Amino acid sequence: MRIVMILAAVLAVSVAAELKADRYRGYQVLRLSVAKTDDIKWLHDMEDVLNLDFWTDPSLVRPVDVMVSPRVAGRFRQMLDERTISYHVMKRDVQDDVDISYDEAIKALLSGNRAGIAALADFDYTVYHTYEEIQQWVTDVAADYSFVNEFSFGTTHEQRNIGALEIAAPADASATDPKPIVYFEGGIHAREWISPATVMYFTGKLLSNYANGDQDARRILGMFDLHIVPSLNCDGYVFTWEHERLWRKSRQPNPDFGCMGTDLNRNFDAYWGMNRASPWPCSDVFRGFTALNNPETIAVDDHFRNLTTQNRVTKVFIDWHSYSQLILAPWSYSAEAELPPESENQLAAAAAMAAAMNATNSVDGGYIHGPLASTLYETSGVSNDYGYASTPDATYSYVVELRDTGEFGFLLPDNQIEPTGEESYNGVIALLDYVINEDY
């Protein structure tokens, strides 16, 4: 059955790669250096006019990476020159990078190790996996560990199951009863393949280390229950494998507008509809017609409402993304708002996480941390504000942006999965140790 599933995935990806061979032909990624607030506003205005795809949002404090179609590339570069915004071309033809991404995926699917997957012990954490494989991984993890339970987190618009895990190891003698919850969510943006891969990597390592008696893993799982959703935006993820590698949003239709999807990370019920969350349904950052109007974000909110009725406390909420190597705390919606009362602890825990991640591989550029709005830009309806200020009520709520800083961007090759997973594992241990030692 697994081999049939693998072969079906190979066929789907191969056909997609052939049919969509020119989807991004001639598209370029430009890196801009923006120095004026007026230019930030102008870039936002041009986003829908020129159908720009910002790989990193306009900001004064870091480079701005933007993908442009061949239809408007010349015009856009001329406009940049007129406004004296400096730039250079990072990717001359995005399709070349997309082809490499699909070729890697097909090669991995056809590998002997992949076709022979029969149990969790055979799972290869160093390649990207299809939706079906991710869901099978969820099932296999629960089957292999007596203290891990599989549950259905919800159902997507296209009726795919969102698989999830509850890791509830025996409690440490000093743990609260019940233990506080740590929530990790991957794959909210479909094209960020490194996110589900990383969540699975560090989850698998944590469980394996626990079984082998590792003291770090024993301490963490003895003090917290973990809820793991490796891939939230399942419809979008499948779409990136079978149709458009760089698709970002959900796949819920927007009636009467001729375009699909909502940016799920603008759809949360936390300062929804304010800054940098587009009301235009065809925008890549479309906020939805109302807050929580997609089944995926509804599933998140329902999960935490159910936990609240059980008097469960969520201590940590992390939404894993790529790219830019950032650990971002509240607030996202405003750079002017007074920071949360717990901000000192939030930032100290993030600093511990960043230090551990940077010490692991000395990754180029390093991981930096701070409140999202004041570190980068203002944006609303976002998961870290939701995790802190809305239903989950988690003191430690973050968006984590994984590798890299732009060389590959969303098309991170699979040889980057293991180092990303290793530094993320160490970051998780450091952050949760901070919570245990300073705020349990």
Would you name the residues annotated as active-site residues?
401
Assign 151 to helix, strand or coil: strand
Read out DSSP for 252-307? -EETTTTEE---GGG-SSSSTTSTT-BS-TTSTTB--SSTT-SHHHHHHHHHHHHH
DSSP state of 344: H
Q: Which residues contact 356 (CB under 8 A, 6 or more apart)?
A: 423, 426, 427, 429, 430, 431
Read out DSSP for 23-51? TTTT-EEEEEE---HHHHHHHHHHHHHTT
- Whether the CB-CB separation of 300 and 318 falls below 8 Å is answered with no
Read out DSSP for 208-242? HHHHTT-HHHHHHHHH-EEEEES-S-HHHHHHHHH
C-alpha span between 226 and 139 (Å, rounded): 16
Strand-pair partners of 86? 33
- Whether the CB-CB separation of 17 and 96 falls below 8 Å is answered with no
The number of beta carbons lying within 10 Å of the beta carbon of residue 397 is 29
C-alpha span between 383 and 195 (Å, rounded): 15
C-alpha span between 394 and 181 (Å, rounded): 9
Determine the distance from the C-alpha atom of residue 280 to the mean position of all C-alpha atoms in its chain, rounded to a whole number: 23
DSSP state of 338: P
- Whether the CB-CB separation of 234 and 251 falls below 8 Å is answered with no
Determine the distance from the C-alpha atom of residue 208 to the mean position of all C-alpha atoms in its chain, rounded to a whole number: 23
- Whether the CB-CB separation of 378 and 371 falls below 8 Å is answered with no
Burial class (CB in 10 A: 0-12, 13-18, 19+), 76: buried
Provide the H-helix boundaries in 317-366.
343-361
DSSP state of 310: T
